[in-house]
Amino acid sequence: MTEVIHIEKKNVKFLQKVVELSGEEVTMCEQCGICTTSCPMAEEMDVSPAGIMRAVQIGDESVVESKAIWFCASCFTCTVRCPRGIDLAKVTEALRQLTLRKNVDHIDLDEVKKESLPAIALVSALRKFTG
């Protein structure tokens, strides 16, 4: 049976924005938790992958402030295992974009020990954490 989710009107815009940015049907998530149990980064996250999906479904904007969306390594394990075919990595990317598109970086380059990082890690970090 499909669950009916009642969302406050003021939070619908947030849900719509994430759906638009990610291209994913977030409302299709059935909260099975497979993404959470599959995620190699879940233990480091303050909100589980399934919790991220739930927060977006109910329009809870506070998920943008979570550490979890930055810990997502875009490994696509959850994506290939989701029974609803949802690409959760695209959802976390959309949530990161909500910050980065305001030109707010999630990394302080002055704090990064650039010489101790492989070049590819530095490039990846710049692409993921800067607007």
Which listed range, 15-23, 72-80, 93-101, 111-119, lies at the site for ligand SF4 (CB under 6 A)?
Answer: 72-80
Ordered DSSP codes for 19-68: HHHH---GGG-----HHHHH-TTGGG-SS-HHHHHHHHHTT-GGGGG-SH
Q: Could you say whether residue 50 binds ligand SF4 (CB under 6 A)?
A: yes
**Number of residues near ligand SF4 (by CB under 6 A):** 27
Yes or no: say if 85 and 116 are a contact pair by the CB < 8 Å rule: no
Restricting to residues 9-48, name those near ligand SF4 by CB under 6 A.
29-35, 38-39, 41
CA separation for the pair 24, 8 (Å, rounded) = 21
Q: Could you say whether residue 58 binds ligand SF4 (CB under 6 A)?
A: no
Query: Which listed residue (47, 49, 63, 90) binds ligand SF4 by CB under 6 A?
Result: 49
Query: Which listed residue (7, 27, 61, 84) binds ligand SF4 by CB under 6 A?
Result: 84
* Non-local CB neighbours of 117 within 8 Å, separated by 6+ positions: 125
Q: Could you say whether residue 94 binds ligand SF4 (CB under 6 A)?
A: no
Q: Could you say whether residue 117 binds ligand SF4 (CB under 6 A)?
A: no
